[in-house]
Structures are given as structure tokens and as C-alpha cells.
């Protein structure tokens, strides 16, 4: 790999010849090789969207020439198209304000804009990464804004549609299984009969509540910190800048973004990210409960519960032929566990808002966007490759009801609790069913007994 010398206020640094980023980015790459984790494209593209409309507004306000603005806009569009995804390689674990990834963006856009104007990439003329690309902005207001924008877009375009698909799949099974009776279970023990449709209606309602929760939480993401610059005062920013940029971003995305009511809160705290993560954690818990129930209900299939059949997607064992493991529910559970862990990281990050700046913005952004993506993909996978393919084992459901001692509960209004308990005890000791003991001992008229135990 060939290198070229790049200079800035801190001196000279060697930058790969084919790189569009400059010396500040290279220093970040050299100094923060912590994890190899980089920001997802959703964040990078949202940051470029912000830079694009900043250039448009700065032109309209008379702060940028038409030539420079046009070049920045074109470069930002190319970043959003994914043309320069390989140029954003700064580690997530960096300066807590996100300045490194921010300057990575400023330098790539500046470099490409200079190439558009002069035919030569790099350098700081005629387009300067700070003076032009970053005009009226600071890392301290740009990074939390980009975080809110990217999270809101992912929720709108990926998360809600995925959860809606899962909701529809569960609703379909609720209807399909509405007449299939099975034994209910409490404390992992046999309980009164329910229908398989009723069981699935519970899963459906939980997802409805999860969708409602994320829609409520995301509203606070609509407030953007843009306009506060370094410490929330708006120093060096045109008073009309933020309002105009945010209006353009709102129109482009179809999301009602607005300027933060209080810039000091928006830049020093991360309440909206924490609340959104909490809603994602709630959905993760719902997915774990549902996926675990599916695993148990399909267990066996002959020596377990086996009341439902799940799609067979791959051999389930490396040594046991014919074994079908619940691979999709288990994948969903693992993804949900990661989201729960991410929420703890986000909570720790949110409490690190010291005075006028939160100094854990990169790790909050990374984990929040990962959680949204994980829940989106897990819900899609669960709906399309598991729930929609589930079938009921009606014979096993009926057999389990017949064998259940919990049916004695249906006799209580006629026999009293103690007599019903005695019947259940005898059935358990003899291996007979509740019906058989009740018939033998002539507990109730046979017609009434048949109606109760139908």
C-alpha cells in the first residue's frame, strides 16, 4: 500500500494514497485500534444527510458559495449511496463526543468535493473540512443529531414493518388454531384447558404492546441537538441554520424532526436514546418469552410436549439423524439477549453526561442502532421462517387434555374442592383419567359429566 503525506495543525501524518479521508481520521485509526468495530452504514448515511442539507442551508444563508455547496451536496449524496462506505473505518471506541467519526465524514466529503471541483482529491482547498463542510456545526450537536436521525429512520423503515409482519403471522395462527383445545399450563404444571388460538392471541397482544411502546419512546428521538454547537449556546451558528436544516431532513425522511427545546439537555443527556433502548429491551423480553414457549410446545416431538410442529430448516444434530432443533426460536432468543445487554451499556452511557456533554456518544449510538437492527431482523426471521410455518398437532393436544388431572377442577362446583381433589389423587395413583374415576364412582350423571369434560 502506498502512502502520501498529509499535513494539519498537529503536523504530518501518512495517509493511504487511495484514501479520501485525511490526517485527523488517520490519527484516529492509528490511535484507537480497540475493537475493529465501526459505525453501521445507517449512522454514516444519516450523518451525510445532515451534511448535505447543512451545505444547502449555508448556501441559502449566504455563508457558502454555490460552487462549494453544490460539490458538498454531490459528495454527501455519494456517501449516502454507499460509494464511500469503505472510507469510514474509525473504531467505535474513540473520543466520547464522536469527533473522530465526525471528522472522518468532514474529510471524506471535503476530499471528494475538491475532486469534483479540481479533479484532485484531498487537501483543504477550495473545500475545507472544518470551515465549509462543518460550517455552523460541532461534533457535540451533530453526533447526537445523527444518532437520533439514524435510529428514527431504522425504526420507521425496518423495525415497525418487521414487528407488523410478526404481528400478522401470530394473528393468522390465532385464527387458524381457534378451535384446537389443549391443556393450559401454570407453574409448568397442567392447568385448565385453553385453545391453541387463545395461547397465540397472548403472543399477538404482547407484540402489539411492544409496537405501542416503541412508538411512544421514539417521539423523543424527533428532537435534534443541531444548533447547539459546542456547549449548547449555538456559538458560531447562524440563528436560522438549525431550524432550516432540520425542516429539510424532516421533509426528506417523512419523520417530524424538530429542533431540541433545550440544547443543554439535548447535548449533555441521552434520555431519548435510553428510553428507546428500554422499549427495545421490552420487545426483546417479549420475543424471548414467545420463542421459549414455541420451543417447549414443539418439544419432542414424541417424548416432549409436541403440541405444535415447527418448520424443519436444517439437520438439528451432528450425530442424531432425524432430530429437528428449534433453530429459529433459539436464534431469536440469542439476538434478544444481545439487545438486553446493549440496554445496560446504553444506560451506563446515558449516565455519563458530565456537565455540557455526554462523553459516551459513540458507544450509545452503536448499541442503539445494533439493537434496532437485531430486533428488526429477528422479528422478520421469526415470522417468516417459524411462526408462519407452524402447524398444530391436534391429536396430541386432545390426548394431553384427556390425561390431565387438572380436569378435576371442572367438577368442583358440583362436588366441592375436597371431593374433586380426592378424585384427582386417585387418578394420579391409578394412572386412570379423571373421566374414568368419575364414571367408576358415579360422581355425576354421565350426561352432565360428558358435557363438563367435553
| Catalytic residue list | 187, 317
* Bridge partners, residue 259, by sequence: 224
- In three-state form (DSSP H/G/I as H, E/B as E, the rest C), the secondary structure along the chain is CCEEEEEECCEEEEEECCCCCCHHHHHHHHHCCCCCCECCHHHHHHHHHHHHHHHHHHHHCCCCCHHHHHHHHHHHHHHHCCCCHHHCCCECCCCCCCHHHHHHHHHHHHHHHHHHHHCCCCCCCCCCHHHHHCCCCCHHHHHHHHHHHHHHHHHHHHHHHHHHHHHHHHHHHHHHCCCCEEEEEECCEEEEEEEHHHHHHHHHHHHHHHHHHHHHHHHHHHEECCCCCCCCCCCCCCCCHHHHHHHHHHHHHCCCCEECCCHHHHHHCCHHHHHHHHHHHHHHHHHHHHHHHHHHHCCCCCCCCCCEECCCCCCCCCCCCCCCCCHHHHHHHHHHHHHHHHHHHHHHHHCCEECCEECCHHHHHHHHHHHHHHHHHHHHHHHHHCHHHCEECHHHHHHHHHHCHHHHHHHHHHHCHHHHHHHHHHHHHHCCCHHHHHHHCCCCCHHHHHHHCC
446-to-437, 440, 451 alpha-carbon distances in Å: 12, 10, 9
Amino acid at each position: 500500500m502506498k502512502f502520501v503525506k498529509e499535513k494539519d495543525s498537529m503536523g504530518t501524518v501518512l495517509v493511504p494514497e487511495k484514501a479520501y479521508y485525511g490526517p485527523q481520521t488517520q490519527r484516529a485509526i492509528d490511535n484507537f485500534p480497540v475493537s475493529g468495530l465501526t459505525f453501521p452504514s445507517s449512522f454514516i448515511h444519516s450523518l451525510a444527510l445532515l451534511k448535505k442539507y447543512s451545505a444547502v442551508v449555508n448556501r441559502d444563508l449566504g455563508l457558502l458559495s454555490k460552487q462549494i455547496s453544490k460539490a458538498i451536496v454531490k459528495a454527501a449524496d455519494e456517501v449516502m449511496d454507499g460509494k464511500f462506505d469503505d472510507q469510514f473505518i474509525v473504531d467505535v471506541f474513540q473520543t466520547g463526543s464522536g469527533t473522530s467519526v465526525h471528522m472522518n465524514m468532514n474529510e471524506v466529503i471535503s476530499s471528494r468535493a475538491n475532486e469534483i471541483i479540481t479533479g484532485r482529491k484531498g487537501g483543504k482547498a477550495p473545500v475545507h473540512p472544518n470551515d465549509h463542510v462543518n460550517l455552523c456545526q460541532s461534533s457535540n450537536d451533530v453526533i447526537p443529531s445523527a444518532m437520533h436521525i439514524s435510529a428514527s429512520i431504522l425504526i420507521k423503515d425496518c423495525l415497525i414493518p418487521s414487528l407488523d409482519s410478526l404481528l400478522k403471522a401470530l394473528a393468522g395462527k390465532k385464527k387458524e388454531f381457534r378451535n384446537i383445545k389443549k391443556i393450559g399450563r401454570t407453574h409448568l404444571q397442567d392447568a385448565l384447558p385453553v385453545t391453541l388460538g387463545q395461547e397465540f392471541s397472548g403472543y399477538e397482544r404482547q407484540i402489539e404492546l411492544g409496537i405501542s411502546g416503541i412508538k411512544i419512546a421514539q417521539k423523543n428521538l424527533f428532537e435534534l441537538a443541531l444548533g447547539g454547537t459546542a456547549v449548547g449556546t449555538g456559538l458560531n451558528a447562524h440563528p436560522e441554520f438549525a431550524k432550516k436544516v432540520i425542516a429539510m431532513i424532516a421533509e426528506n425522511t417523512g419523520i417530524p424532526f424538530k429542533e431540541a427545546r433545550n440544547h443543554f439537555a439535548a447535548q449533555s443527556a441521552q434520555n431519548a436514546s435510553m428510553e428507546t433502548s428500554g422499549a427495545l429491551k421490552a420487545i426483546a423480553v417479549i420475543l424471548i418469552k414467545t420463542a421459549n414457549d414455541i420451543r417447549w410446545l414443539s418439544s419432542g416431538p414424541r417424548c416432549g410436549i409436541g403440541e405444535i410442529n415447527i418448520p424443519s430448516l436444517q439437520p438439528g444434530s451432528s450425530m442424531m439423524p432425524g432430530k429437528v432443533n428449534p433453530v429459529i426460536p433459539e436464534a431469536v432468543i440469542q439476538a434478544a439477549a444481545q439487545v438486553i445487554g446493549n440496554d445496560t451499556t446504553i444506560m451506563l452511557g446515558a449516565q455519563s453526561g458530565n456537565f455540557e456533554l455526554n462523553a459516551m456518544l459513540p458507544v450509545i449510538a452503536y448499541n442503539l442502532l445494533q439493537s434496532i437492527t437485531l430486533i428488526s431482523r429477528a422479528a422478520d426471521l421469526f415470522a417468516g421462517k417459524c411462526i408462519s410455518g407452524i402447524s398444530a398437532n391436534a391429536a396430541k393436544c386432545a390426548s394431553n387434555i384427556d390425561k390431565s388431572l387438572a380436569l378435576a377442577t371442572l367438577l368442583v362446583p358440583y362436588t366441592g374442592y375436597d371431593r374433586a381433589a380426592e378424585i384427582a389423587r386417585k387418578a394420579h395413583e391409578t394412572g386412570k383419567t379423571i373421566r374414568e374415576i368419575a364414571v367408576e364412582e358415579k360422581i355425576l350423571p354421565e350426561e352432565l359429566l360428558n358435557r363438563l369434560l367435553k
